[in-house]
Amino acid sequence: MNKKVLTRIAIAVGIYVALVALVATFYDDSPTKMKWEDRQAYNKQYIANIKLDKLSLDQILEDLGSPDITEAKTVAQDHYQLTYYRTQHIKSDGITTIEECTPLLFKNESLYAIGKDAIEQYQYFK
């Protein structure tokens, strides 16, 4: 190869590396900035991999953003918060319903239950 071709290849690789570095540094990939389809898929994958008692409410809020629906109550000295994150699309009406979400129950800001069990536990505490 001649020197001119090698120079052009080196310049192209340098531009590519610079663009990748810029995207990695400045692109905000938070769930709140995602399209609803991408956020829903992200929520589903994230929730499928979490472990009970390993995450706090603050960590979930940081990783998933604000919940689509939330409920909270205090019983005796314990604070319960039931958050719903959209994980499955049912109807295109512009409204997110509980049926389209996976519930997460937090007791004193620690993850306590996931899914149908979360709703049952939340309703049990009176």
Radius of gyration of the chain (CA): 22
Q: pLDDT tens-digit profile of 35-53?
A: 888 888 999 999 999 988 7
Neighbouring CB atoms inside 10 A of 80's CB total 20
Q: Are 57 and 106 in contact (CB under 8 A)?
A: yes
Sorted by where each begins, the domain ranges of the chain are 34-124
Q: Which residues contact 32 (CB under 8 A, 6 or more apart)?
A: 39, 65, 66
Strands in 101-107's sheet, in edge-to-edge order, are: 69-75, 78-86, 101-107, 110-114
CA angle 39, 45, 51 (to 5 degrees): 125
Token pair 């959209």 in the structure block, residue: 86
Mean pLDDT, the chain, whole residue set: 88
Quick one: pLDDT at residue 1?
Answer: 63
CATH annotation of 34-124: 3.30.1450.10
Q: Are 90 and 83 in contact (CB under 8 A)?
A: no
pLDDT level of residue 10 (50, 70, 90 thresholds)? confident
Q: Answer yes or no: is pLDDT of 18 > 70.
A: yes
Quick one: pLDDT at residue 4?
Answer: 86
3-state secondary structure of 36: helix
